[in-house]
């Protein structure tokens, strides 16, 4: 755990907001400085480059997803309950890091190597956590025999998109959104009784 100055924190959260609103490439260092009320050159006392900011946002966001979901995957909850709680935890990470997760999902393409490869590796590892739980559920004859990669991607696609429409001041809490999504994805839209 590295200590981070208050100023650096302020820069990072402003960058998250602007990178989300306008996109990474469309946000100039001058835009960022203006939003902070300083000159562009002053930023370089806190940050090595614009890309370092992108990387630090993406990397911290990945940590948040792993830290929230891995303990649940490693718990001894019943498989169905486990997958539900993983989905809820994932959605809660998104909703409390809405700007950062939007940047995480949309702007990683603009990282340079080797960061881009490292990002892809973590993304794949994360998907692997979901795949393992889904495979377990299939082995237990609890889940249908869809391809496990297909299933994991379909679930993650549906829940990742919450970053575009969730509003903290709306009628649903983050947990409610996660539980609705989990109910929808595990049981389907069709009424069975």
Residue 142 interacts with DNA (CB under 7 A): yes or no: no
The rounded Cα 114 to chain-centroid distance in angstroms is 20
Which of 106, 101, 103, 73 is CA-nearest to residue 174?
101
Which of 179, 139, 175, 134 is CA-nearest to residue 153?
134
Cβ contact 24:77 at 8 Å:
no
3-state secondary structure of 120: helix
By residue count, the chain amounts to 193
Q: What is the DSSP letter of 110?
A: G
Residue 29 interacts with DNA (CB under 7 A): yes or no: yes
Residue 59 interacts with DNA (CB under 7 A): yes or no: no
153 binds, among DNA, its own copies, none (CB under 5 to 8 A by kind): its own copies
Residue 44 interacts with DNA (CB under 7 A): yes or no: yes
Residues that bind its own copies (CB under 8 A): 22-23, 25-26, 80, 106, 109-110, 134, 137, 141-144, 146, 150-151, 153-155, 157-158, 160-161, 165, 180-181, 184-192
Minimum CB separation of residue 180 from its own copies in Å reads: 7
Stretch that binds DNA, among 25-33, 83-91, 127-135, 174-182 (CB under 7 A): 25-33
24 burial via Cβ count (<10 Å: 0-12, 13-18, 19+): buried
Distance from C-alpha of 147 to C-alpha of 149, rounded to nearest angstrom: 6
4 binds, among DNA, its own copies, none (CB under 5 to 8 A by kind): none
The token pair that represents 4 in the structure block = 């981070």
- CB closer to its own copies out of 2 and 109: 109
Of 2, 3, 5, 145, the one binding DNA (CB under 7 A) is 5
Would you tell me which residues interact with DNA (CB under 7 A)? Answer: 5, 7, 27-31, 33, 37-42, 44-46, 48-51
């Amino acid at each position: 755990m590295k200590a981070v100055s208050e100023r650096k924190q302020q820069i990072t959260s402003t960058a998250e907001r602007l990178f989300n609103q306008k996109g990474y490439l469309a946000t100039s260092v001058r835009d960022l400085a203006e939003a902070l009320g300083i000159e562009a050159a002053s930023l370089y006392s806190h940050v090595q480059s614009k890309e370092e900011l992108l990387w630090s946002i993406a990397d911290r966001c990945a940590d948040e997803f792993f830290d929230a979901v891995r303990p649940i995957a490693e718990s001894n909850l019943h498989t169905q309950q486990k997958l539900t709680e993983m989905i809820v935890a994932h959605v809660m990470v998104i909703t409390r890091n809405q700007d950062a997760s939007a940047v995480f999902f949309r702007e990683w393409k603009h990282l340079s190597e080797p960061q881009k490869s490292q990002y892809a590796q973590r993304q794949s590892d994360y998907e692997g956590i979901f795949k393992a739980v889904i495979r377990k559920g299939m082995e237990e004859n609890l889940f249908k025999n869809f391809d496990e990669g297909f299933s994991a991607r379909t679930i993650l696609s549906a829940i990742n998109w919450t970053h575009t429409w969730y509003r903290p001041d709306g009628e649903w809490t983050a947990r409610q959104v996660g539980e609705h999504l989990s109910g929808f994805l595990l049981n389907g839209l069709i009424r069975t009784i």
